[in-house]
């Protein structure tokens, strides 16, 4: 076959485009696996430090992280010891990986707990924790707590959805690629039907063709399932990062 006819088949055969789509989707499915295996955003340090005692009311409280933060979804609150209501404070823009909280009034003598929730702009990973410091008084016991477990905040649901998404997408992509290489545009599942050396179909032709068609339908169904699971994963991650409001989902995406 000439190179001209080969290029014509590649450009005009719908199965070729299905194969290309399957290959691209398979690569995209592997991308998040690599991201999840790498390190997420991590807490570096704070000013005042966790467990510190300061003799003057700090004009601002600074938190530093290893990755840039999503300003719309990251937040912090300063709570006095023994009280549940946070103090009035303003969250100010800082560096790419910095969260700055400025109290609107001088802090009275006592212990304080800073609670924070951040979302990385690089991988969308949410991280939350708390730290304590004291103003002319000892800090609270357990000066710092950071929640980094992937199972935090019902993380098992997000992990399960991602696992199902990857499985469905890889099954769909693999099925489409194999059908493109071994099948045809009219019979994408034809490669599943063994043929005799003479080129005619072997015994139980109807049964084999039926099984092949059902296998191809399952492959296509996995594609639709992967699309639905992709939406579910995005909603679950957005809910973990900032809630289910339209504004939070928009900031997350």
- Strands 43-47 vs 61-65: parallel, antiparallel or unpaired: antiparallel
Sheet holding 61-65, edge to edge: 43-47, 61-65, 98-103, 89-93
Q: What is the pLDDT of residues 169-212, one digit of tens each?
A: 888 888 777 777 766 656 666 555 555 444 444 555 556 566 66
What does the pLDDT read at residue 102?
A: 95
By the 10 Å C-beta count (0-12 exposed, 13-18 middle, 19+ buried), 211 is classed as middle
217 pLDDT band (50/70/90 cuts)? confident
Extended beta strands in 48-199, E state:
53-54, 61-65, 75-80, 89-93, 98-103, 110-119, 126-135, 144-147
Beta bridge pairs of residue 76: 116
Which domains are assigned to the chain? 3-37+154-252 (no CATH), 43-147 (2.60.40.1220)
What does the pLDDT read at residue 14?
A: 52
What does the pLDDT read at residue 27?
A: 52
How many C-beta neighbours within 10 Å does residue 94 have?
16
Specify whether the CB–CB gap between 34 and 164 falls below 8 A: no
Tell me which of 62-71, 144-153, 154-163 is least confident. 144-153
Q: What is the DSSP string of 232-246?
A: HHHHHHHHHHH-SSH
Full-prediction pTM beyond 0.85?
Answer: no
What does the pLDDT read at residue 3?
A: 44
Q: What is the DSSP string of 147-183?
A: E--TTTTTHHHHHHHHHHHHHHHHHHHHHHHHHHHHS
Q: Provide CB contacts within 8 A for 79, sequence distance 6+.
A: 85, 86, 87, 112, 113, 114, 115
């Amino acid at each position: 076959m000439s190179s001209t006819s080969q290029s014509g088949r590649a450009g005009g055969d719908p199965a070729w485009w299905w194969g290309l789509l399957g290959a691209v989707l398979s690569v995209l499915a592997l991308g998040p696996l690599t991201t999840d295996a790498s390190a997420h955003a991590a807490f570096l340090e704070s000013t005042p430090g966790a467990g510190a005692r300061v003799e003057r009311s700090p004009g601002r409280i600074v938190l530093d992280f290893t990755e840039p933060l999503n300003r719309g979804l990251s937040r912090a609150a300063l709570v006095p010891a023994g009280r549940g209501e946070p103090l009035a404070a303003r969250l100010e823009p800082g560096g790419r990986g910095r969260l700055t909280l400025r109290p609107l009034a001088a802090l009275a003598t006592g212990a304080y707990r800073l609670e924070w929730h951040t979302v990385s702009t690089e991988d969308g990973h949410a991280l939350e924790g708390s730290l304590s410091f004291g103003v002319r008084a000892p800090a609270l016991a357990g000066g710092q707590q950071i929640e980094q477990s992937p199972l935090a905040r019902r993380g098992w649901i997000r992990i399960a959805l991602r696992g199902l998404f990857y499985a469905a997408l890889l099954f769909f992509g693999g099925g489409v690629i194999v059908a493109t290489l071994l099948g045809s545009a009219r019979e994408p599942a034809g490669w599943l039907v063994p043929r005799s050396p003479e080129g005619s179909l072997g015994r139980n032709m109807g049964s084999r063709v039926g099984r092949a068609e059902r296998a191809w339908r399952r492959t296509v169904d996995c594609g639709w399932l992967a699309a639905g699971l992709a939406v579910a994963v995005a909603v679950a991650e957005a809910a973990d990062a900032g809630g289910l409001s339209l504004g939070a989902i928009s900031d997350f995406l």
